[in-house]
């Protein structure tokens, strides 16, 4: 079970000034709408990537089952600050961080986590918005841009013609709510 000890100071992948610059928007007339769309786009991307968010946090995660590896929930994991097994703190030589996985080491060799509960305290996520990966920033801007251009029509409408009577086609977004052209470059963040 994940407990966030220190929530992110910022949760949006991109700031308002960047979006306004990208769109060439001057003034503050659209700030509230754009800010709302930035937050919505960030949340949709987090969901599509199987995450609760992207911002930097301090967390404690509890594991109550015997496992060969512990899979930490928030990522990327920047540092593990403590590992406590059945009330006993482990030294840094007794575990190894491998991406988002924590391995138990006994005499320098991998072993199973055989005692529970296990409490892992760690720092994870990105300093937003400046520390966000470029692919995620671009995806967020693309979703906001879709809202912007579709604000007076169905944003999923891809094509409309009136030649005979009417012909319309819509973009499919799948179960993530993110169009494939936006999702494809960021899909690696689902597993990373």
Average pLDDT, the chain: 89
Write down the pLDDT at residue 146.
87
pLDDT at 52 over 70: yes
74-105 pLDDT per residue, tens: 999 999 999 999 999 999 999 999 999 999 99
pLDDT tens-digit map of 119-145:
999 999 999 999 999 999 999 999 999
Confidence grade of residue 157 (pLDDT, cut at 50, 70, 90): low
Stretch 64-79: mean pLDDT: 94
Q: Is the peptide bond before 33 cis (omega within 30 degrees of 0)?
A: no
CA terminus-to-terminus distance, the chain: 19
Q: What is the pLDDT of residue 145?
A: 92
Question: Residue 20's closest CA among 10, 37, 34?
Answer: 34
| Separation CA 27–CA 70 (nearest Å) | 49
Q: What is the pLDDT of residue 159?
A: 62
- Answer with the residue of higher pLDDT: 192 or 19: 19
114 or 14: which leads in pLDDT = 14
Q: Is the pLDDT of residue 117 over 80?
A: yes
pLDDT digit string (tens) for 171-181?
Answer: 555 556 688 78
Specify the pTM. Answer: 0.81
Burial letters 139-155, b for 16+ CB under 10 A, else e: bbbbbbbbbbeeeeeeb
User: What separation in angstroms does the CA of 64 have from each of 109, 114, 126, 156, 175?
Assistant: 22, 10, 28, 44, 32
What does the alpha-carbon distance between residue 97 and residue 182 come to, in Å, rounded to a whole number?
31
Question: Which tens digits make up the pLDDT trace of 1-50?
Answer: 999 999 999 999 999 999 999 999 999 999 999 999 999 999 999 999 98
Burial class, 90, CB count within 10 angstroms (exposed 0-12 / middle 13-18 / buried 19+): middle
């Amino acid at each position: 079970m994940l407990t966030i000890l220190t929530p992110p100071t910022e949760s949006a992948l991109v700031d308002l000034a960047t979006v306004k610059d990208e769109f060439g928007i001057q003034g503050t007339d659209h700030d509230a709408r754009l800010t709302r769309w930035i937050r919505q786009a960030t949340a949709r991307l987090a969901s599509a990537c199987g995450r609760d968010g992207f911002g930097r946090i301090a967390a404690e995660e509890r594991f109550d089952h015997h496992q060969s590896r512990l899979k930490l929930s928030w990522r990327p994991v920047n540092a593990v600050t403590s590992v406590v097994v059945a009330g006993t703190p482990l030294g840094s030589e007794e575990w190894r961080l491998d991406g988002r996985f924590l391995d138990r080491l006994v005499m320098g060799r991998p072993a199973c986590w055989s005692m529970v509960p296990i409490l892992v305290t760690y720092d994870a996520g990105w300093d937003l918005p400046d520390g966000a990966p470029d692919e995620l920033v671009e995806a967020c801007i693309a979703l906001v841009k879709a809202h912007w251009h579709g604000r007076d029509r169905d944003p999923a409408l891809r094509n409309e013609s009136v030649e005979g009577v009417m012909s319309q086609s819509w973009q499919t977004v799948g179960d993530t709510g993110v169009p494939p052209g936006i999702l494809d470059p960021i899909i690696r963040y689902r597993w990373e």
